[in-house]
A and B are shown apart, each in its own frame.
Chain A
Amino acid sequence: MSEYAVEMCDIVIRFPGVLANDHVNFTLKPGEIHALLGENGAGKSTLMNVLAGLYQPTSGQIKINDQVVQFHSPKDAIAQGIGMVHQHFMLVPSQTVTENILLGLERPRFFLNLPQFDQQILALQEQFGLRVDPKAKIWQLSVGEQQRVEILKTLYRGANILIMDEPTAVLAPKEITELMKTLRQMANQGKSIIFISHKLHEVMAIADRVTVLRKGRVTAAGQPMAGLTRAELAQMMVGRKVVFTVEKRPHDPGEVVLRLQNVSAENDKGLPALKNVSLEIRSGEILGIAGVSGNGQSELAQVITGLRPCQGLITVNGQPVSNRPPIEAIRLGVSHIPEDRTKVGTAPNLSITENSIMKNYRDDPIGDGWRINFNNARTYARNLKEKYAILAPGVRTLARKLSGGNLQKVILAREISAHPRLIVAVQPTRGLDVGAIESIQTLLLEQRDEGAAILLISEELEELMALSDRIAGMFSGMIMGTVPAQLRYLDEIGLMMTGTLIDQ
């Protein structure tokens, strides 16, 4: 057996205006889990897209089991046993697990003997511990299960080398633990796994070796994980020392900005999602909402911003906003950092300029009577791009060409520069790298110090504790209580998240 399953030598990838990979070397041993660590835009995904046959490198060489290969399409890569599980799943919701796995294969040719294939897939599941009902339709599955289907898809195609592109970004904590177990089991059976991530603790927990990329260059090449500390990794990744806790000044709350009185609402399926929610946030205060996702947090953000009808009363600075069109909340100074960046927060085929004026295109100096002054709009967008360090060739770049972190920066820049009275921030740092998280958290704290009221909905307890002044626990559409954001209340927060009422 060859020493390396994959050897990538001197890979250079040049995009217009950017050197995405600058003479990168990467090796993968058989049966190991190799983490590829780096900030957003460091070139991790680009490098792996080369290995998966999606991009052709400008120069460089790829060897699979000591054989030089050239990939012209993903088909060539699959033929060499390389499978990539993308961050965004590519599944057909109305079809079953088995149908999705068979999709696009040469056989079965015409007649589909599904039960027979169900059996094959069950056997494959058995081998690697990837449990999911082969007869279930994709839309019935949780995100974690869908990911398992994606992994099964690559295994069924005979993949020996698995590329996992930020596999944990979409998963709940429990699902992450399960995924880790599965990956280890697969590695033990001889599969080689590349684990792309920017989350240090995950990389430390799972990887045998690590390669770190920064701005397209390798800063650590295949170092054994043992013996590396979190701080060392972070420094290689960001290029400077990282402070893991942002500094927070003591808070000085002013008058009540947001008030919810007995607010109830239904979710998209018509089931109760919010039940008699009452809460208050004052100016200069961050209220964190702790809870497992799907307990009404999304709906809470939507009723406040006018995107969802509700019963009960919601006021911002004393003005009612519940059951009013979203424009009223915007006029009252409510900013919204939505949960779903691509589906709600931005328009993919419009430029950065057009995306950054979504909230203020009506106002002077961008809105000018019936027309939009695009010169002013571009100047405005350029300022935001500079101030918030948005990485893009220019403000005419389309939103869909931006990486997740930069897209989030566009949204944040737009929402914060409106000088909001109230910010509704839903998972503002999800899927972002250490450097970006730090800057976004700092931005939110700055807004609080300037007197904005902030509703912070997050699944990261660490983040809630670091930023919030008070934390409310949410469970099954109800607020279970509110406690100060201090470490000694950690137990109470845990209890509230699992459904125990806490009196304060």
Chain B
Amino acid sequence: MPFRIIVEKRVEDVPKWLPAATSLGAVVLAFLICGVILELIGGDALRVLRFFYQATFGSWGVFSDTLVKATPLILVGLACTVAFRMRLWNIGAEGQFYVGAFAASLVVLVPLVSPDRPKVVILTAMLVMGLIGGAVWAFIPGLLKARYQVNEIITTLMLNYVAILWNNYWIFGKWSEGGFQMTPTFARSSWLPRLADYAREIPAFAGITLHLGVVFAIIAAAIVWWVLYRSRWGYEINLIGDNPQAARYAGINISRNIILVLMFSGALAGLAGMSEISGVVHRLQERISPGYGFTGIIVAWLAKLNPFAVILVSILFGALILAGREIQPSGLPQLLQGIILFMVISSDVLLRYKIRLERAVVSKP
């Protein structure tokens, strides 16, 4: 062979643009692979790609749908980002999402706030209840870990099922509408404002379902970024995540941070639940989340635990969910998701190793 491929460990620092470039390259490559598979099974890859584009980014209407799907993913992805930074493996975002949704619903269903009060008051109450609900649900595994060193992976995972069943009890047993697994539709005063609500003033907004939740998500990303990169608390989180022994030596209270960080994480997931029922579903029902809590884990990893990257990755995944539903109920979109994840994770090799081609030396005897 005239050339040989040489793989060397990187000694110097990775250039700043490289992680973003490899991740982007990985996504493009994943689409290409998916296209090849489509062609092989007799599909028309270009047509599917065009359709995918039109169904997700093709017009303001569909782009708004993409963003609606991305909103809960952003919030849950941020929830995982915060916890993973400290190497706390919160895989209970799904449960925290449900409890957040439940707690926010209490405002309407009990009702904690009369539906005749101004919208701002009701929505604020729902927002606060959503945050508290998620935080309380995450407090349980936090306390268990801080006090008794119970593995949070197990407890957060198990509490997912508890949360879903808890919701079901109330939906079926208490607030069921005519025996269906859903509560009556909430009064309009508890709906997050949507762009479509302003169609009378601005006709272009007609039919656009984008709701205020996306603003919550973007503000949350900014807050998480500030906390992780600029605040004292974020410094402590990063230090504990990198070396807990050094953190203890630096006088940081690790137990307290375990509880606080899990609660922060849970609150973000709970907010996702609130935004979903108040912005999209408008009632409490079964299966309000098609596994957002778990997709959030993937989102956080793909975003390399960077809050702003979480937004971009969530939009991509929101698009995949949306287009997927229209292309094929199951199959291709999941395949693409899987290949993207696989590609992005393996592209890490390029950050750790340099690969170059070298003309093979002809060895003389």
Binding site for B on A (CB under 8 A): 15-16, 54-56, 70, 72, 305, 307, 325-327, 329-330, 336, 338, 343-350, 354, 357-359, 361-362, 367, 370-372, 374
Contact = CB atoms under 8 A, between A and B. Distances in A.
A298 to B, nearest CB: 13
B148 interface: no
Contacts of A15: 11-12
25 contacts: A16-B12, A55-B11, A56-B8, A72-B6, A305-B249, A325-B253, A336-B249, A343-B243, A343-B245, A343-B246, A344-B249, A345-B249, A346-B243, A347-B238, A347-B243, A348-B242, A349-B242, A350-B238, A354-B235, A354-B238, A358-B246, A361-B232, A370-B231, A372-B232, A372-B234
B13 A347 contact: no
B250 interface: yes
The listed residue with most A CB atoms (<10 A of its CB), out of B11, B238, B239, B248, is: B11
B198 interface: no
Contacts of A336: 249
B299 to A, nearest CB: 22
A385 to B, nearest CB: 17
Given A15-B12, A370-B231, A371-B230, A359 B242 contact: no
Nearest to B239: A347
A372 B12 contact: no
Contact of A358 (B233, B239, B253): B239
Given A347-B239, A348-B242, A361-B232, A326 B248 contact: yes
B361 interface: yes
A345 B248 CA distance: 10
A370 B252 CA distance: 15
A303 to B, nearest CB: 14
Nearest to B229: A374
Closest 5 CB pairs of A and B: A327-B251, A347-B242, A358-B250, A347-B243, A16-B12
B239 A359 contact: no
Nearest to A338: B249
A362 B232 contact: yes
B14 to A, nearest CB: 11
B254 to A, nearest CB: 10
Interface in B1-23: 6, 8-9, 11-13
A349 B245 CA distance: 14
Given A327-B251, A345-B249, A370-B232, 18 more contacts: A16-B12, A307-B249, A327-B252, A343-B245, A344-B249, A346-B246, A347-B246, A348-B242, A350-B238, A350-B239, A354-B235, A354-B238, A357-B235, A362-B232, A370-B233, A371-B230, A371-B232, A372-B235
A330 B251 contact: yes
B251 A326 contact: yes
Contacts of B250: 326, 330, 358-359
A372 B236 CA distance: 11
Contacts of A370: 231-233
B218 to A, nearest CB: 21
A161 B33 CA distance: 48
Contacts of A307: 248-249
Contacts of B12: 15-16
Interface in B147-181: none
Contacts of A329: 251
Nearest to A377: B235
A248 B233 CA distance: 43
A336 B249 CA distance: 9
